[in-house]
Amino acid sequence: MGGVVLGIESTAHTLSFGMVDLDGNVSDSYSNLFRPKEGGIHPREAADHHCSQVSNLLNEVTKSEMFKENDVEAIAFSQGPGLGPCLRVGASVARTLSKSWNIPLIGVNHCIAHIEIGRNQTGCIDPVLLYVSGGNTQVIAKSRDKYRVMGETLDIGIGNMLDKFARNQGLPFPGGPKIEELAIEFTKVADYQNKLIDLPYGVQGMDMGFSGMLTAAQRRVLAGDSLESVSWSLQEHAFASCIEVAERAMAHTGKTELLLGGGVACNSRIRKMAEIMCEERGATAYWPEKKFCIDNGTMIAELGRLLHNVGFKTSLEDSSINPMLRTDHTKVIWD
Ligand code: AMP
Ligand code: MG
């Protein structure tokens, strides 16, 4: 029998389990997404959802071939950042499994897990990461023993911005994919490139901001511009802001790989912009499959595996969640 690390993700709307074997081969993730009936994600409701789904998902995982054919060597869980009540569900399940199966517990940094699953899946080595998700928007690059935040959103995450815009237009959560569809519709209009609606741009130094463009976009819909045209213009402004900061980070650090991660990295337009920018500077853009861009348990297992390989364990005393954990709080002690 070989060995696997089991990973548990529960930072926000997604409860997910996944496995990675000790050579780095990954399983699919076993996930369930909390979809609020109205409004944004209420942390307590999302946590209740996760509690109600734990045993179903664990059942599925334990029936999988990979689980049956391997020993579970360690349990990894998202220790932060995220919503406290949601994080607590994953941490409690992880502590319980670690105790009852008598295997090490490994608390991991969710943001860094997005990087490591991207490296695992794409083969890039030392990328600048453009991490664009619901709650997080960061440009990250490794220097010495830390993944450093070169720039980040000063207000809301880019995914939350897209979800809010969609919700205000009566579209269901998650709104990002629906906005992408509307934007693609607009690209079928003749001469669409010359019909960009001017919105506040989101770059401030190396940081970004999305609430100004959100408000302006909502006003343009109220003023009578089509939802398709505003969706396209909103994507152009938001994604260009991220790509500009990512490009500057590449110029500063001299790195020649760009890795996209986070749910918004599922979007075909941000991928295209990343590709164009990289091509123009002789660099390469990478992104994992969509199932590994969104939050998933497999990425937690992958970072758990890297830590397990170097003998890292989290003691029960140190296993408290940390909703405010920062990307640059975690020492990179693995290769
Ligand atoms: P995460 O927080 O990483 O799980 O990502 C969830 C976020 O990704 C939500 O805000 C979604 O609206 C967003 N998202 C998912 N697919 C797309 C897409 N195709 N285009 C834009 N945003 C997306
Ligand atoms: Mg995430």
Q: Please say if the pLDDT value at position 37 is more than 90.
A: no
Q: Which atom of ligand 1 is nearest to the CA of 262?
A: 3
Average pLDDT over residues 238-259: 98
Handedness of CA 87, 88, 89, 90 (dihedral sign): positive
The span from the CA of 45 to the CA of 16, in Å, is 16
Is 80 exceeded by the pLDDT of residue 166? yes
For the domain 124-291, what is the CATH code?
A: 3.30.420.40
Q: Which two tokens stand for residue 13?
A: 């709307």
Nearest alpha-carbon partner for 304 in 53, 108, 136, 135: 108
- Please state the domain extents for the chain: 2-116+292-329, 124-291
Question: Which residue lies with its CA nearest to atom 8 of ligand 1?
Answer: 263
The pLDDT value given to residue 318: 98
Least confident piece of the model among 35-49, 115-129, 181-195, 209-223: 35-49
Adjacent-strand bridge partners of 131: 138, 261
Q: What is the pTM of this model?
A: 0.95
Residue 195 — very low, low, confident or very high, per pLDDT cuts 50/70/90? very high
pLDDT of residue 1: 77
CA of 77 to the centre of ligand 2 (A): 13
Any idea which of 100-104, 171-175, 241-245, 256-260 has the lowest mean pLDDT?
171-175
Q: What pLDDT is stored for residue 330 in this prediction?
A: 97
Token pair of 202 as six digits: 């989101």
Closest by CA position to 30, among listed 78, 52, 62, 5: 62
**Domain 2-116+292-329, CATH 3.40.50.300 — does that match?**
no
Q: What pLDDT is recorded for position 335? A: 87
Mean pLDDT, range 161-186, rounded to an integer = 96
**Ligand with minimal distance to 158 CA:** 1
**293-297-299-302 Cα dihedral, nearest 10 degrees:** -160
pLDDT one-digit tens code per residue, 110-129:
999 999 999 999 999 999 99
By most ligand atoms within 8 Å of CB, the mutation choice from 31, 163, 264 for ligand 1 is 264
% of the chain surpassing 70 pLDDT? 100
Q: Find the mean pLDDT for residues 40-65.
A: 96
Calpha distance 274→244 (Å, rounded): 10
Residue 207, pLDDT score: 98
Percent of residues, the chain, with pLDDT higher than 90: 96
Given a cut of 90, is residue 291 above it in pLDDT? yes
Q: pLDDT class for 248, splitting at 50, 70, 90?
A: very high
The pocket of ion ligand 2, defined by CB under 5 A, consists of 133, 295
Give the span between the Cα atoms of 91 and 79, in whole angstroms: 7
pLDDT in tens, 199-244: 999 899 999 999 999 999 999 999 999 999 999 999 999 999 999 9
Looking at residue 38, its pLDDT comes to: 81
**What's the 32 CA to ligand 1 centre distance in angstroms?**
15
Of residues 202 and 102, which shows the higher confidence score?
Answer: 102
Determine the pLDDT at residue 59.
Answer: 97
CB under 6 Å to ligand 1: residues? 14, 133-134, 159, 162-163, 174-177, 180, 262-264, 266-267, 294-295
The predicted pLDDT at position 140 comes to 97
- Whole-number Å distance, alpha carbon 137 to ligand 1 midpoint, is 12
Closest ligand 1 atom to the C-alpha of 132?
Answer: 3
Task: Give the range among 34-48, 119-133, 234-248, 300-314 with minimum mean pLDDT.
Answer: 34-48
Ligand 1 center–CA 119 separation, angstroms:
20
SS (HEC) of the chain? CEEEEEEEECCCCEEEEEEEECCCCECCCEEEECCCCCCCCCHHHHHHHHHHHHHHHHHHHHHCHHHHCEEEEEEEEEEECCCHHHHHHHHHHHHHHHHHHCCCEEEEEHHHHHHHHHHHHHCCCCCEEEEECCCCEEEEEEECCEEEEEEEECCCCHHHHHHHHHHHCCCCCCCHHHHHHHHHHHCCCCCHHHHCCCCCCCEECCEECCHHHHHHHHHHHHCCCCHHHHHHHHHHHHHHHHHHHHHHHHHHHCCCEEEEECHHHHCHHHHHHHHHHHHHCCCEEECCCHHHHCCCHHHHHHHHHHHHHCCCCCCHHHCCCCCCCCHHHCECCCC
